[in-house]
């Protein structure tokens, strides 16, 4: 292991060089990754030229006044980014304890564990910063370069926030390890990260959970404060001022972030070796498999039992589904409220949202049952024909979704039969479509790759989203009772048929070895 | 009596031939060891026999069933286990056996009784409700073997079943295999542990560059290699020129 001659062996810089070399080689590893890189670069460039540059020209002369409205908007945007960053850093920080990789080698070496943790923390911070920077750059960079160079300070703000988020992620993960123990921490952190990530969406939905009267009151209060021109608290104004390029707030934010980061590294680093050792030991303790074993000669029943057991014991999957159900919850609430009060203005959009999210959940479940088979040789060597196996797996993926959605759809049907019918049809079609796409386009993977499944197959992710969006449109229009609903439905059908592969073709791929 | 396995003119190529016009016959109730250096085509051959890989050419008959034309029928009497214990980490051995029994349509009552007997004979009974993710490699290998035996196959195909097993676990597995052969089950096994082939196999085939280089009992192979007093290792090294 050599980080290059420029750094002293065993130093943080030397370890960082080693980490980044591994990351770089991972990126360059496959031709597929390179192709994906070119596609992303093309999308990035297109958005920059077609949307970013025109936006920059429009906003060239714009002046952002520091008033209560802009402060609230600025703070809300930064708070949203911070929740996403904390969610990402928490997930990554927990993995720093559990993922072995070269951790055993490093901890067995005479390098101080705190130094190893610091390097891991820097990598997490860089990833979190890069994720946000890449997200805003196509639209933001042209705006800043064309008319507002001072706004480039936003990148420094993001860096400060990434430092804070990494510190929070590390601190939270170590706290979880201490409070609930290494066995439960990984699962809890994944669910917590999902919930924090969803906080942004839930907050955005809050407006719909309140009555129009309550929303109007809040808006009036902000406007009154704006007109009064009273002094705002410095802590509320500084984030916006930092975004606009004021040096003082930027320096404070970055310094505070740096201090938080250093403090977290020092605190977590002190016990890092012990925590990592405890995390490594969790795999050896026997975990009992609860539930009765029911032998059956019926393959379909056996397959459903097996898949449902595996789904219910898959923590990353459960956290993903919980996240998506959290997205669904406000929609269902609004739909039921709208249906109950017969003020159906929101129903079509909510039905569309429910349909889309159903397709997404179905895609996740079907990917796990169909592509992430742990023992493909066992299935292939059995006397059960491949299409039967695939159908059983698809059924197992759709079963839990049906159980979760049935009460909400039943209630909606009772309150508003037309919208309920559209939602039932839309959700059923989306669930089936998400499942079928994953059946036809399955690519053998490991369960651990679940979170990266979309990056594994660009076509799969795109098709799921496009077909899901079209079906969502159809369901929404159907809830509106317009015959136009047929149009997106037919388009979805064509898109779905375009993805179809015959049983023989799928079997041929499975046998290709 | 119908032969357990008859392979004729079997070919599989990955750019270069992995299996090249291979023909071999394994008699019913025989313990047949397939040996060969790394890359000789042993695993590719067994994967084709088990129906996991489609051959480019040739025929495979399992107890008289054309395995390429009637794969489902052939698989009904066959079991496959490889050196990489592909299990469901989040299932217990009992749950794993429940699933495998369902795949082969084993009567539930018989399946439960067999599962219990297998887990006891393989020393996994106390761990029957533990998730496999907590198991050592040897325990996983034994769970996979239990799965391979639960439907009482007539032909058991094992690719390096003893890899990574400690001496105790290896002895248990060898004992279970020997018992099965005594009961009339045909076992085809690849291994790099020549002592296993030497002790257990009725006949030994040596693959080299995808073709059968030599085949026979240990005594016949020794004669052929001019190693009358030598070990199987001497014979193997002599014949393969390794």
Q: What is the 3-state secondary structure (H, E, C) of A35-103?
A: HHHHHHHHHHHHHHHHHHHHHHHHCCCCCCCCCHHHHHHHHHHHHHHHHHHHHHHHHHHHHHHHCCCCH
- Whether B6 and B25 have beta carbons less than 8 Å apart is answered as yes
Per-residue pLDDT reduced to its tens digit, B58-71: 999 999 999 999 99
Whether B229 shows a pLDDT value over 50: the answer reads yes
By mean pLDDT, which of A319-333, A471-485, B23-37 is the weakest?
A: A319-333
> What pLDDT score does A15 carry?
87
- Whether B110 and B87 have beta carbons less than 8 Å apart is answered as no
CB pair distance less than 8 Å for A382 and B75: yes
Q: How far apart are CA A495 and CA A23, in angstroms?
A: 36
CB pair distance less than 8 Å for B86 and A374: yes
Query: Tokens 């192709």 identify what position?
Result: A35
Residues of chain B contacting residue A303, judged by C-beta atoms under 8 Å apart: 99, 102-103
Whether A402 shows a pLDDT value over 90: the answer reads yes
* pLDDT mean over B194-207: 90
Whether A2 shows a pLDDT value over 50: the answer reads no
Q: How far is A426 from chain B (nearest CA, A)?
A: 33
CB contact set of A214 (below 8 Å; sequence gap of 6+)? none
> What pLDDT score does B168 carry?
86
Residue B153's alpha-carbon distances to A112, A375, B217, in angstroms, are 55, 19, 24
Q: How far apart are CA B127 and CA B139, in angstroms?
A: 9
B56 CB within 8 Å of a chain A CB:
no
B219 CB within 8 Å of a chain A CB:
no
Element (H, E) at B62: strand B57-62
Q: Which long-range contacts (CB under 8 A, 24 or more apart) does A414-418 make?
A: A415/A336, A415/A339, A415/A340, A416/A338, A416/A339, A416/A342, A416/A344, A416/A347, A418/A479, A418/A481
Contact map slice: B 131-170 vs A, CB within 8 A: 131, 133-134, 147
Per-residue pLDDT reduced to its tens digit, A190-239: 777 777 766 766 666 666 656 666 667 766 776 666 666 556 677 788 88
- Whether A117 and A96 have beta carbons less than 8 Å apart is answered as yes
Per-residue pLDDT reduced to its tens digit, B92-145: 999 999 999 999 999 999 999 999 999 999 999 999 999 898 898 889 999 999
CA dihedral B45, B50, B51, B57 (to 10 degrees): 30
Neighbours of A494 (CB within 10 A): 11
Element (H, E) at A170: helix A153-180
Angle between helices A68-98 and A113-147 (to 10 degrees): 150
Angle between helices A153-180 and A247-270 (to 10 degrees): 20
Give the residue with greater pLDDT, A507 vs A427.
A427
Nearest CA in chain B to A379: B103
> What pLDDT score does A280 carry?
65
Q: Which of A374, A391, A359, A379 is closest to A450 using CA atoms?
A: A374
CB contact set of A396 (below 8 Å; sequence gap of 6+)? A303, A304, A307, A308, A311, A369
SS3 call for B66: strand
Q: How far apart are CA A240 and CA A76, in angstroms?
A: 10
Of A4-8, A286-290, B37-41, B150-154, which has the strongest mean pLDDT?
A: B150-154
Nearest CA in chain A to B92: A289
ipTM confidence score: 0.85
> What pLDDT score does A141 carry?
92
Token pair for A366? 């079907």
Residues of chain B contacting residue A293, judged by C-beta atoms under 8 Å apart: 92, 94-95, 98
Residues of A engaging B, defined by a Cβ cutoff of 8 Å: 283-289, 291, 293-299, 301-303, 305-306, 309-310, 313-314, 374-385, 508, 511-513
> What pLDDT score does A40 carry?
78
The pTM of this model reads 0.73
Q: How far apart are CA A414 and CA A408, in angstroms?
A: 10
**Phi, psi angle pair for A46, to nearest 5°:** -65, -45
Nearest CA in chain B to A301: B102
Whether B73 shows a pLDDT value over 60: the answer reads yes
Minimal Cβ distance to A295: which of B54, B98, B129: B98
CB pair distance less than 8 Å for B106 and A378: no
| Three-state secondary structure readout of B198-222 | HHHCCEEEEEECCEEEEEECHHHHH
Token pair for B88? 């469901």
Whether A307 shows a pLDDT value over 60: the answer reads yes
Residues of chain B contacting residue A288, judged by C-beta atoms under 8 Å apart: 92, 129-131
Residue B90's alpha-carbon distances to A196, A286, B87, B95, in angstroms, are 27, 11, 9, 10
- Whether A267 and A113 have beta carbons less than 8 Å apart is answered as no
Q: Which DSSP category does A368 fall into?
A: I
| pLDDT over 90 percentage in chain B | 65
CB pair distance less than 8 Å for B47 and A297: no
Split at pLDDT 50, 70, 90, the class of A1 is very low
> Mean pLDDT of all residues in chain B?
90
Split at pLDDT 50, 70, 90, the class of A79 is confident
Per-residue pLDDT reduced to its tens digit, A12-39: 888 888 888 877 776 665 555 566 678 7
Residues of chain B contacting residue A309, judged by C-beta atoms under 8 Å apart: 90-91, 95
> What pLDDT score does A3 carry?
44
By mean pLDDT, which of A347-351, A444-448, A476-480 is the weakest?
A: A444-448
Nearest CA in chain B to A388: B103
> Mean pLDDT of all residues in chain A?
82
Residues of chain A contacting residue B131, judged by C-beta atoms under 8 Å apart: 286-289, 313
Q: Which of A369, A387, A295, A292 is closest to B102 using CA atoms?
A: A295
Q: Which of A62, A64, A80, A79 is closest to A236 using CA atoms?
A: A79
CB pair distance less than 8 Å for B90 and A285: no
- Give ∠ CA A482-A485-A490 in degrees, rounded to 5: 155
Token pair for B67? 């395995």
* pLDDT mean over A419-435: 95
Q: How far apart are CA A181 and CA A165, in angstroms?
A: 22
Q: How far apart are CA A94 and CA A43, in angstroms?
A: 32
CB pair distance less than 8 Å for B94 and A379: no
Per-residue pLDDT reduced to its tens digit, A83-132: 888 888 888 888 777 775 677 778 777 788 888 889 989 999 999 999 88
> What pLDDT score does A339 carry?
63
B91 CB within 8 Å of a chain A CB:
yes
- Whether A43 and A458 have beta carbons less than 8 Å apart is answered as no
Q: How far apart are CA B125 and CA A210, in angstroms?
A: 58
> Mutating which of B70, B90, B106, B112 best tests the A interface, going by the most A Cβ atoms within 10 A?
B90
Minimal Cβ distance to B75: which of A305, A375, A381: A381
Token pair for A228? 């009064």
CB pair distance less than 8 Å for A376 and B86: yes
- Whether B112 and B104 have beta carbons less than 8 Å apart is answered as no
Give the residue with greater pLDDT, B232 vs A458.
B232
Burial class (CB in 10 A: 0-12, 13-18, 19+), A191: middle
Split at pLDDT 50, 70, 90, the class of A459 is confident
A:B CB pairs within 8 Å = 135
- Whether A478 and A500 have beta carbons less than 8 Å apart is answered as no
Burial class (CB in 10 A: 0-12, 13-18, 19+), A502: exposed
Tally the C-alpha atoms within 13 A of residue A223's C-alpha that lie toward its C-beta. Answer: 6
By mean pLDDT, which of A74-88, A286-300, B12-26 is the weakest?
A: A286-300
């Amino acid at each position: 292991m050599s980080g290059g001659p420029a750094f002293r062996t065993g130093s943080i810089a030397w370890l960082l060089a080693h980490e980044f070399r591994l990351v770089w080689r991972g990126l360059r590893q496959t031709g597929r990754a390179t192709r994906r890189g070119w596609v992303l670069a093309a999308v990035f460039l297109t958005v920059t030229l077609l949307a970013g540059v025109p936006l920059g020209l429009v906003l060239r002369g714009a002046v952002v006044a520091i008033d209560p409205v802009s402060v609230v908007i600025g703070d809300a945007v930064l708070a949203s980014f911070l929740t996403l960053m904390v969610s990402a850093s928490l997930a990554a920080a927990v993995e720093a304890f559990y993922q072995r990789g070269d951790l055993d080698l490093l901890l067995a070496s005479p390098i101080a564990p705190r130094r190893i943790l610091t390097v891991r923390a820097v990598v997490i911070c860089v990833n979190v910063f890069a994720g946000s920077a890449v997200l805003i750059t196509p639209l933001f960079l042209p705006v800043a370069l064309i008319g507002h160079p001072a706004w480039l300070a936003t990148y420094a703000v993001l860096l400060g926030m990434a430092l804070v988020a990494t510190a929070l992620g590390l601190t939270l993960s170590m706290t979880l390890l201490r409070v609930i123990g290494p066995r439960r921490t990984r699962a809890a952190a994944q669910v917590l990260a999902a919930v924090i990530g969803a906080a942004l969406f839930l907050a955005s939905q809050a407006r719909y959970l309140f009555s129009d009267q309550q929303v109007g009151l809040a808006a009036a209060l902000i406007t009154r404060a704006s007109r009064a021109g009273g002094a705002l608290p410095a802590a509320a104004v500084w984030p916006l001022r930092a975004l606009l390029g004021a040096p003082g707030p930027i320096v404070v934010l970055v310094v505070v972030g740096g201090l938080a980061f250093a403090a977290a590294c020092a605190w977590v680093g002190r016990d890092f070796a012990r925590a990592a050792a405890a995390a490594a030991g969790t795999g050896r303790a026997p975990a009992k498999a609860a539930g009765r074993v029911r032998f059956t000669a019926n393959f379909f029943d056996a397959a459903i039992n097996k898949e449902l057991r595996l789904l219910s014991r898959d923590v990353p999957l459960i956290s993903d589904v919980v996240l998506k159900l959290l997205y669904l919850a406000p929609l269902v609430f609004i739909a039921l409220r709208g249906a109950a009060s017969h003020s159906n203005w929101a129903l079509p959009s909510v039905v569309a949202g429910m349909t889309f999210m159903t397709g997404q959940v179905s895609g996740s479940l079907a990917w796990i049952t169909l592509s992430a088979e742990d023992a493909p040789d066992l299935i292939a060597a059995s006397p059960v024909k491949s299409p039967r196996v695939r159908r059983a797996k698809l059924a197992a993926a759709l079963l839990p979704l049906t159980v979760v959605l049935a009460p909400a759809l039943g209630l909606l049907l009772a309150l508003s039969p037309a919208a309920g019918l559209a939602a039932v049809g839309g959700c059923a079609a989306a669930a089936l479509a998400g499942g079928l796409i994953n059946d036809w386009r399955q690519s053998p993977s490991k369960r651990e790759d679940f979170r990266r499944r979309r990056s594994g197959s660009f076509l799969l992710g795109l098709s799921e989203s496009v077909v899901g969006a079209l079906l969502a449109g159809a369901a929404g229009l159907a809830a509106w009772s317009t015959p136009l609903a047929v149009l997106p439905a037919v388009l979805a059908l064509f898109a779905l048929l375009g993805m179809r592969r015959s049983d023989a073709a799928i079997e041929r791929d499975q046998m290709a070895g | 009596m119908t032969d357990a396995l008859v392979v004729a003119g079997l070919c599989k190529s990955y750019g270069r031939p992995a299996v090249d016009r291979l023909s071999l016959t394994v008699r019913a109730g025989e313990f047949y060891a397939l040996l060969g250096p790394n890359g000789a085509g042993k695993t590719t051959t067994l994967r084709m026999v088990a129906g996991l890989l489609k051959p480019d050419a040739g025929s495979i008959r399992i107890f008289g069933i054309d395995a390429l034309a009637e794969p489902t029928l052939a698989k009904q009497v066959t079991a496959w286990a490889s050196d990489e214990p592909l299990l469901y980490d989040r299932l217990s051995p009992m749950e794993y056996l429940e699933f495998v029994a369902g795949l082969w349509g084993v009567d539930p009552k018989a399946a439960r009784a067999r599962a219990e007997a297998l887990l006891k004979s393989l020393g996994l009974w106390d761990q029957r409700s533990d998730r496999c993710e907590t198991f050592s490699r040897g325990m996983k290998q034994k769970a996979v073997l239990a799965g391979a035996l639960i439907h009482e196959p007539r032909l058991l195909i094992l690719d390096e079943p003893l890899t990574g097993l400690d001496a105790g676990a290896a002895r248990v597995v060898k004992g279970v295999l020997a018992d099965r052969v005594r009961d009339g089950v045909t076992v085809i096994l690849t291994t790099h542990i020549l002592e296993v082939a030497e002790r257990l196999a009725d006949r030994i085939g040596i693959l080299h560059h995808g073709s059968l280089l030599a085949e026979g009992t240990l005594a016949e192979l020794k004669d052929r290699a001019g190693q009358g007093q030598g070990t199987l290792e001497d014979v193997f090294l002599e014949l393969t020129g390794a």
